[in-house]
Amino acid sequence: MDLPAHGTRRLIALSGNKPHWHPSPNFGDRRNGLTPALIVIHYTAMKTSAAALERLCDPAHEVSAHYLISRQGQVWQMVEEADRAWHAGAGNWAGMDDINSRSIGIELTNTGVEPFPEPQMQALTALVAGIQKRWSITPHNVIGHQDMAPTRKADPGRRFDWARLARLGLASAAASQGPDAPLSDSLDQIGYPKDVSLEARLEAFRARFRPGAEGPETESDRRAASAVAQRITIDRQKAQA
């Protein structure tokens, strides 16, 4: 493990691995009575969990997250889920802004150019499943930082195993090819911000649903996006029924 445990353990079951409580001063109340409706997954872009934890708990940096997960699967909780951590910054998803007031943020120790190890992914999937149950968060509202801020952020990146979360019913899955519909319309329906370039939105979509794709927009991009949009639209309608 790249950092010794600190503090007392929170009483949240994570397949036998309980989070260690390591409080950050960087949080506040959720605004306007909002409660968590999203889970935002990040990577730290740092070499060690020790360095990330120090930064996330340093009042000078004014940044935090609810959870940090090491490569070995150790989980630290820094902010209570009911409180507003400072992890998302500017951006929006599916028409929702003030993402910090609407989300729970999870940081994964990762430099951004490496795979996510099995113990880390196991801890993440257990944590996400518990959060979803506690706050009734739907799979299509489990997103990456890049999804809600595609011109600013690239995490968790193309190496992140979204397909694994989808197989477990924890996140939206890539779908079979749909109609050749306008890409911008499909990305709007999925939830990507409308106030950024199509190129940035396409890169975010590919990072999640077509991680091997490169270059200019293709018919395959449009068909993949329309299929995901159709599935997510149906799921949202069911959730609202």
Pair of tokens at residue 159: 């190496």
Annotated catalytic residue 62: no
Predicted confidence band of residue 13 (pLDDT cuts 50, 70, 90): very low
- What gap in Å lies between CA 135 and CA 139, rounded to an integer? 12
pLDDT tens digits, 74-121: 999 999 999 999 999 999 999 999 999 999 999 999 999 999 999 999
Q: What is the pLDDT of residue 10?
A: 41
Beta strands in 130-214 (DSSP E): 142-144
**All domains of the chain, ordered by start, with CATH?**
1-173 (3.40.80.10), 174-241 (no CATH)
Q: What is the pLDDT of residue 176?
A: 81
Peptide bond before residue 156 is cis, with ω within 30 degrees of 0: yes
pLDDT at residue 241 greater than cutoff 90: no
The helix, strand and coil proportions of the chain, stated in percent and rounded to the nearest 5, come to 35, 10, 50
Pair of tokens at residue 26: 């960087």
Q: What angle do helix axes 219-240 and 198-209 make, rounded to 10 degrees?
A: 80
Q: pTM for the whole thing? A: 0.92
Catalytic member of 107, 114, 199, 219: 107
Q: Please give the backbone phi and psi of residue 84, each rounded to the nearest 5 degrees, phi first.
A: -95, 105
Selection from 141, 157, 14, 142 nearest residue 77 by Cα: 14
Residues 121-129 have a mean pLDDT of 98
pLDDT tens digits, 178-190: 999 999 999 999 9
233 CB burial (10 A radius; 0-12, 13-18, 19+): middle
